[in-house]
Amino acid sequence: MLRFIVRRLLQLIPILLGLSVLLFAWLRALPGGPAQAALGERATPEAIERYNELFGLDQPIYVQYLKFLGRAVQLDFGNSARTGRPVTTEFLERMPGTIELTVVALVFAIGLGIPLGYLAARKHGSWVDSTSVIASLLGVAIPVFFLAYLLRLGFAVELGWLPGSGRQDVRMDATRITNFYVLDGLLTREWDAAWDAVLHLILPAIALGTIPLAIIVRITRASVLDVVNEDYVRTANAKGLATATVRRRHIIRNALLPVSTTIGLQAGLLLSGAVLTETVFAFGGVGSAIYDALFARDYALLQGFVLMLAIMYVLVNLVVDISYGFLDPRVRVQ
Amino acid sequence: MSGAAAAGRPSGAPVLEVDDLAVRFTRRGEADTSAVDGVSFAVSPGETIGLVGESGCGKSVTSLAVMGLLPRRNVQVSGSVRLDGRELIGADDATLRGLRGADMAMVFQDPLSSLNPTVPIGTQVTEVLLEHRDMTKKEAADEAARLLDRVGIPDPLRRLKEYPHQLSGGMRQRALIAMALSCSPRLLIADEPTTALDVTIQAQILELLRELVVDTGTALVMITHDLGVVAGLCDRVHVMYAGKIIETADRHELFARPRQPYTGGLLASVPRLDSPRGAPLTPIRGSARDTISWAEGCAFAPRCDNAQDDCLTEVAGSTVELVPDGPGRQLRCRHPLEHPPAAAGATASGAAR
């Protein structure tokens, strides 16, 4: 088990090296540059030259890359061109927000998706089934930013039931410990701050969780339909087990194997893919930071954030692979 | 060829009585298909009967209908199935669940797919005990180990913790048999229990089943296409074709004097060690798809060497019925095979090997 984990972590090295090269090259291939973005379109060539000199952007690209690499191995990705603060600090401030959002979105998607998928399969061919199939098709098809705007407009702007922007009411002036706002509120016993942070999570989490929800419904449904026809379910029924036991131990347990793989992949995607949702809800997470940095040609922040997200993605997948072994003894790592 | 079987049929009221069982599959937009029609048989305690026929003849559907395991949707079951006199057709789900695993149990064909891959063997054995017998978890675990030991699985305590993929094919089938036997059922149905196993393991599993019938007095229904299994195990044999029983006889009678040409064909197609090297096998011509409905005539007629015009309903004016054919025998055929009196013995033991 330990060797498996170590091997997977070692695989991170080539992944990150390759990604950093691509990232470095891609960013610099973008039209415009940080100087242009910072100084505006009418900046004189002299001003741009001075800017580039100041930030070392006039050096050959491989020199820039090696310098970057040398610092990056110490988790120093330089300072953000936009805010002037260390990229790592920015990341540590913003990642907790994205993690909170991802967790709530996944809880929403899993908590609703698995029961719905199961129900659709057991009522195969009924209106419950067809409704959930159509709804999940819509869920996958609807663009995230559109759904996010719709939710914000409806529930925040028009009805005013839920907050529609930010991670917490700024007037809260809550104490920060971990930057997980909900957790901080609980730790400092500032219950109203924690509750406010939860309310701020609801709409973005629904927007973000809709696609995973739709996917989980479909996978669960298909998987349950497969499993109920398995010989071992017939065996379980032939043993005269109670319906609840057959369902829990013999149907759901096996039906969740493919679902768990999907959830793992989705978790990785959500962590890095919340750009649109976070932007619509002005949610101060990693996604909206990347969005802003892209427009500012903030090379340092983009490089740092994308690489750190890649590390997280690989770690999440590692956790998923390990937990898969607990669910399915046939693939258990020796 | 065991002595026990030759000792004659055990007495006592039958454990299972099946009367005029019919199963129809109904699908919207398609014509109904009759999978089983007018099947009747009975099994007494300690008796083993064989339901024999090729794939698709309705033998497995019959067994699932007895157990109440057919899907409820798109399936019509009629007739009567009585377990110790208790009617099962139309019984509610809770009643059937109470009987399954406790009073009637089943062993399936493919032991790997019939076991849940993600649940340890131990749990799969104890769950039956916990469901039907008033046991604590500890008692159930002890009983499970005893059961595995009884069906010949070495080192049962270790095996209980293992998963199906860690066991050999023979051991998996033994584990399934252990589950089926855990509540000492009155009736055991074994649906092709040896088909997925190596020949040497097949013999061991059959021997195990035979011992269990002798020891416990369980009534055993063997569902098989394998005449070797029938010869080694069954007291009475029902041969099925296209959803109906076409011949019923005592095992010795059947092997010595098959009357239905289909039965004769099955026996003739068994390869024999004492036939000369290079001698061709004798298959039944055509395939199971070359059939007509029983309403039109004898379903086997298109493949039958004895078939004559009056095998068809149109010509004879009536369908071919199952009629008594000497002591203890029944036959559904207008032109059966004829046998000179007493030319037995050799044929039966030959087919058994």
The whole-angstrom separation of Cα A82 and Cα A84 is 6
Question: Is A239–B176 a contact, with Cβ atoms under 8 angstroms apart?
Answer: no
| Cβ atoms of A297 and A30 closer than 8 Å | yes
Question: Is A329–B110 a contact, with Cβ atoms under 8 angstroms apart?
Answer: no
Considering chain B, what is the average pLDDT of its residues?
A: 86
For residue A245, the chain B residues in CB contact (below 8 A) are 127, 131
The whole-angstrom separation of Cα B257 and Cα B274 is 20
The pLDDT value recorded for residue B8 is 40
User: Is a pLDDT exceeding 60 seen at residue B1?
Assistant: no
User: Is a pLDDT exceeding 70 seen at residue A97?
Assistant: yes
For range B319-339, the mean pLDDT: 89
Could you tell me which of B345, B275, B265 has the C-alpha nearest to residue B305? Answer: B265
The pLDDT value recorded for residue B341 is 64
Question: Is B127–A239 a contact, with Cβ atoms under 8 angstroms apart?
Answer: yes
pLDDT band at A273 (very low <50, low <70, confident <90, very high): low
Question: Is A234–B69 a contact, with Cβ atoms under 8 angstroms apart?
Answer: yes
Nearest to B119 among A231, A242, A249 (CB): A249
Closest approach of A211 to chain B, Cα-based (Å): 29
Q: pLDDT exceeding 70 applies to what percent of chain A?
A: 99
Considering chain A, what is the average pLDDT of its residues?
A: 86
Closest B-chain CA to A255? B118
Question: Is A238–B96 a contact, with Cβ atoms under 8 angstroms apart?
Answer: no
Whether chain A has a CB inside 8 Å of the CB on B184: the answer is no
For range B283-299, the mean pLDDT: 83
Could you tell me which of B28, B109, B26 has the C-alpha nearest to residue B63? Answer: B109
For range B105-126, the mean pLDDT: 92
Total H helices, total E strands in chain B: 13, 12
User: Is a pLDDT exceeding 60 seen at residue B2?
Assistant: no
| Candidate from A68-82, B37-51, B151-165 with smallest mean pLDDT | A68-82
- The 10s digit of each residue's pLDDT in B200-239 is 888 888 888 888 888 888 999 999 988 888 888 899 999 9
Could you tell me which of B193, B257, B188, B228 has the C-alpha nearest to residue B49? Answer: B188
Q: What are phi and psi of A142, to 5 degrees?
A: -70, 130
- The 10s digit of each residue's pLDDT in A145-161 is 888 889 888 898 888 88
Whether chain A has a CB inside 8 Å of the CB on B106: the answer is yes
Q: What are phi and psi of A150, to 5 degrees?
A: -60, -45
Question: Is A327–B118 a contact, with Cβ atoms under 8 angstroms apart?
Answer: yes
**Residue B227 belongs to what H/E stretch?**
helix B227-233
Closest B-chain CA to A253? B118
The pLDDT value recorded for residue B196 is 76
Which residues of chain A have a Cβ shorter than 8 Å from any chain B Cβ? Answer: 230-232, 234-243, 245, 249-250, 253-254, 257, 327-330
**Which site among B127, B132, B147 would you substitute to test the A interface, given the most A Cβ atoms closer than 10 Å to its Cβ?**
B127
User: Is a pLDDT exceeding 80 seen at residue B11?
Assistant: no
Question: Is A330–B163 a contact, with Cβ atoms under 8 angstroms apart?
Answer: yes
ipTM: 0.84
**Residue A301 belongs to what H/E stretch?**
helix A299-327
User: Is a pLDDT exceeding 90 seen at residue B248?
Assistant: yes
| Cβ atoms of B251 and B52 closer than 8 Å | no
The whole-angstrom separation of Cα A112 and Cα A105 is 11
